[in-house]
Structure 1
Amino acid sequence: MVDAVRLALSWMTVLPVGGRGVPGPTEAGRAMTALPVVGLVCGVVATATAHGAYVLGAGSVIAGVVGIAAVLALTRAMHVDALADTADGLGSYAGPERALEIMRSGSVGPMGAAVLVLVLLAEVAALGALVASGAWLAPIAAFVLSRCLPVIQLRRGVPAATTTGFGAMVAGSQSRAAVVAVALICAAAGAGLAGSGSATTWWAPAVGAAIGLSLYAAAAGFARHAVRRFGGVNGDVLGAGIEAGTAAALVVAVILA
């Protein structure tokens, strides 16, 4: 698992931890199973930098901006790019080949721009509100939860949208055991969303765990929709799920606070 975590971090962040050579299907699949660890790293970076800005007097909004910007720098903004591309592909209502062509074009259309702005605004506002309330566990849990979602989208039986690229390397790589194990992590992270302000409310962690599992199921549904629209999943679909899941989890944490 150490090698899997190292590979996952090298793929999903700018951290110089990757090994040499091109990984095979088995190594790639294990790296995807290790994505929650990437979420933990991203969550700690976002939360620590946001709290630091808040302590220095930046205010909740600027603190949220600083925290989210830190994660965008850490991840090369790959997931926000994927979110915009996926929104444009889905919004085109074109057939699979044309939709994938739109997603590969490199430009951002009105649908992608609108979705991107709304999701980033939600992330900034929610993270800022959590930091202002003194929360540490909840925002970290939100990033962990969002990195659980690709695992169920890569379960066996879900095809890749193309025969080449990142999606083709990892599609169908997750066994039933991996899907179930990460579901448990997802539930635990969901319970952690109640870690701010609501710790004295006995039912909040249970609600958070249920919401975490609901987001996991929603990610599976999104993968099925991607199969219908694009013929399968690809890197953009996975990244879009991560970014949208981050926003959703952060907002849930604010509501549970």
Structure 2
Amino acid sequence: METRIDEIADGIYRLSTFVPDIAPPAGFTFNQFLVVGDAPLMFHTGLRKMFGLNRDALARIIAPEQLRWIAYGHFEADECGALNDWLAAAPQATAAQGATGVMVSLNDFADRPPRPLANGEVLDLGGGKRVRFIDTPHTPHGWDAGVLYEESTGTLLCGDLFTQLGKGPALTTGDIVGPAIAGEDVFHYSSLNPDMGATLRSLAELSPRTLALMHGPSFAGDGAAALRALADNYDGRVTSALKEVMSDRVAA
């Protein structure tokens, strides 16, 4: 395996590792994102077993010890499995996540005290880069779920939203909604709930110009339209699931 580096927006780098053995024959990508400022931030740590690959890739952009923030969307191995390896490699770095995630997982998991982020809180990274944490509980999964929005580039660091199979390009202007729907049909990874559509439409109000996917290509274009289309699909799934439950109850 190798980790590929691509700049998907000004000062935002995608570190992508393709694993052909997951969901063959299409395979699956794991992406981390580095936001370069005076206080650089990495979003997602990658799997612990991929730490060496990702460290060596990041070192081609900045020295790992320059990292000041290490953030992720929700507590899961590919999101934060290598967190403590990164904290060891970057002695001045602080782990950051939403208040819920810090309370239930990160306070115990992290080798150094983490920074809880309130919904809407902004970290000023310097160099014109500012990232805003946004709570998205249970969207797509995990009650601690959240995303980051980099304000200067209009980049939404989406975490597991729009997860799709395959390798693909680093950055696309094509359809990411159809492949995300297909990915949901394969993995059934989302915690379907009545608030999903509203959560995604609130993210659409940011009008992001770039969507940085953890699993799949990043997207440049009308991010709001893509988020609203994904919201419509999830609303349909929730409605169908509720109808099925009600039908089963009537039959019983």
TM-score (structure 2 length as normaliser): 0.27
Higher relative contact order, structure no. (Cα contacts within 8 Å, ≥ 6 residues apart): 1
Q: Tell me which protein shows more strand as a share of its residues.
A: 2
Q: Tell me which protein shows more helix as a share of its residues.
A: 1
